[in-house]
């Protein structure tokens, strides 16, 4: 009975868990018009170097991708990790432009307000550059983006350029502003024409308003105007990803790969899209190509290992996942995936060891708690299994994720209480 439930969890609940985590990862993002990479899906643009000290005493070094009311998302060598503020003691990060560290105290009352996607519509603009709006920095940054787009569409390219420069000064890692400024520069050089740029900016305005079908139709027109300029391809492919139209994204990214062969972001997106449409041989081909061309890009080892697990090729998965932790021993998802591979091979003790290592690195890695609990249940350790699922449920509750809570309740209902 325990082994049957274990197999049921991995065949039925784990894909459902992946979907729940995927959707949670999409929530709360800032505006990202020029989507550059998929990875597992997306690599958010803004990053600030930081050292995070957990209340457990563990020190985490990485780049802050996003600050939320209840959590911090950081990038560690291409892997996105979430740390919840209740578990964080202090955050030291470099002040923008100064190089001096700023210490942020954390706890139940976070210093930051929520920084989700800005929902306000484009303001009515008068001549000249728009004034800064009060509030959090991300709101101002996104407003610079919206103002710049609106100014250009009103024929005020100089004001648009100033807005984009202000936005870049406010966040030097924001790829949107770099791309828009490059496009305006290419317009001045005659590399692209005004009708192309106007069409692209109209698509950007649709994108900000989340009118993704309109984005697609407009970008098709943009590409028809100049099929040799790459900007519209990147955004069209990214929009197809948001719409989960992965098959439609493939010819877009293939065209982009022909325009700029070997580009890392394009290869990542091609690998992900082929995997999404279950053309797994092509996905594997692209992941291996990324590893050959960019061996330091550790995320591809994890993605390829995950794909091999999905295909039931557990030994192949272990080759790449074990290589990954040789390169970087601090990636909890890698240990979790190694545990899944061992568990699928029936090597439950090895699986347990790796799940525990994943949880030690990131105690909030809910999938590791679920997988470890499933292994305990398969070994007849129902008490430990129920405890592990209960921890996962608490994490989902803290994240205000009702789908996750419901899934755990369904699992717990199948395990007898001792």
The per-residue pLDDT for range 181-211, each reduced to its tens digit, is 999 999 999 999 999 999 999 999 998 888 9
Q: At what angle do helices 175-189 and 157-170 cross, to 10 degrees?
A: 150
pLDDT average, residue stretch 48-61? 66
- Looking at the chain, the whole-number percentage of residues with pLDDT higher than 70 is 70
Q: How many helices (H) and strands (E) does the chain have?
A: 18, 6
Pairing mode, strands 48-54 and 59-67: antiparallel
Indicate whether 147 and 273 sit together in one domain: yes
Express each pLDDT in 5-52 by its tens digit: 555 555 555 555 555 444 444 344 445 555 544 332 222 233 445 677
Indicate whether 321 and 379 sit together in one domain: yes
Indicate whether 251 and 313 sit together in one domain: no
d(CA 150, CA 146): 6
What's the token pair of residue 99?
Answer: 């190089």
Contact 298, 324 (CB under 8 A): yes
Residue 284 belongs to some domain of the structure: no
Residue 326 belongs to some domain of the structure: yes
**Which CATH number does the domain housing residue 393 bear?**
1.25.40.10
Q: Find the domain containing 94 and state its range.
A: 48-105
Residue 345 belongs to some domain of the structure: yes
Contact 199, 221 (CB under 8 A): yes
Indicate whether 370 and 238 sit together in one domain: no
Bigger pLDDT: 18 vs 410:
410
Indicate whether 311 and 402 sit together in one domain: yes
Whole-Å CA distances, 393 to 226, 322, 365, 404, 412: 51, 29, 12, 7, 10
Residue 343 belongs to some domain of the structure: yes
Residue 132 belongs to some domain of the structure: no
Residue 121 belongs to some domain of the structure: no
The pLDDT of residue 345 is above 80: yes
Which strands form 88-94's sheet, in the order they lie side by side?
Answer: 79-84, 71-76, 59-67, 48-54, 88-94, 101-105
d(CA 156, CA 416): 68
Per the DSSP assignment, residues forming a β-bridge with 82 are: 73
The band of 251, judged by pLDDT with boundaries at 50, 70 and 90, is very high
End-to-end CA distance of the chain: 15
d(CA 292, CA 132): 46
Considering its fold, how many domains does the chain have in total? 3
Nearest one of 242, 294, 295, 302 to 273, comparing CA atoms = 242
């Amino acid at each position: 009975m325990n082994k049957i439930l274990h197999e049921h969890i991995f065949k039925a609940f784990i894909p459902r868990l992946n979907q729940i985590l995927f959707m949670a990862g999409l929530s709360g993002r800032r505006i990202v018009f020029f989507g550059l990479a998929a990875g597992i899906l997306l690599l958010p643009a803004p990053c600030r170097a930081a050292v995070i000290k957990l209340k457990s005493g563990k020190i985490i070094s990485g780049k802050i991708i996003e600050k939320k009311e209840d959590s911090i998302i950081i990038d560690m060598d291409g892997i996105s990790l979430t740390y919840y503020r209740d578990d964080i003691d202090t955050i030291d990060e470099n002040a923008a432009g100064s190089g001096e560290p700023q210490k942020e105290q954390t706890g139940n009352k976070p210093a930051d307000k929520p920084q989700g996607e800005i929902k306000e519509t484009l303001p009515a603009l008068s001549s000249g550059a728009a004034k800064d709006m009060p509030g959090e920095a991300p709101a101002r940054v996104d407003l610079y983006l919206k103002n710049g787009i609106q100014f250009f569409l009103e024929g005020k390219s100089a004001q648009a350029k100033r807005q984009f420069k202000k936005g870049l000064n406010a966040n030097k890692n924001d790829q949107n502003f770099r791309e828009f400024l490059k496009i305006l520069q290419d317009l001045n050089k005659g590399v692209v024409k005004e009708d192309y740029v106007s069409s692209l900016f109209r698509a950007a305005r649709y994108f900000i308003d989340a009118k993704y079908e309109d984005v697609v139709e407009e970008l098709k027109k943009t590409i028809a105007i100049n099929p040799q300029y790459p900007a519209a391809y990147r955004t069209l492919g990214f929009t197809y990803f948001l719409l989960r139209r992965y098959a439609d994204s493939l010819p877009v990214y293939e065209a982009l790969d022909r325009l700029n062969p070997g580009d890392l972001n394009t290869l990542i997106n091609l690998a992900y899209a082929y995997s999404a449409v279950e053309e797994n041989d092509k996905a594997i081909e692209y992941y291996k190509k990324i590893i050959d061309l960019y061996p330091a890009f550790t995320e591809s080892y994890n993605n390829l290992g995950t794909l091999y697990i999905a295909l039931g090729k557990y030994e192949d998965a272990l080759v790449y996942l074990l290589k990954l932790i040789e390169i970087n021993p601090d990636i909890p998802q890698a240990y979790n995936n190694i545990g899944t591979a061992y568990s699928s091979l029936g090597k439950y003790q090895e699986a347990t060891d790796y799940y525990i290592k994943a949880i030690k690195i990131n105690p909030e890695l809910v999938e590791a708690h679920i997988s470890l609990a499933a292994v305990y249940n398969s070994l007849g350790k129902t008490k430990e299994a129920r405890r592990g699922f209960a921890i996962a449920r608490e994490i989902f509750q803290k994240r205000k994720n009702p789908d996750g809570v419901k899934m755990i309740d369904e699992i717990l209902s199948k395990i007898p209480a001792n």
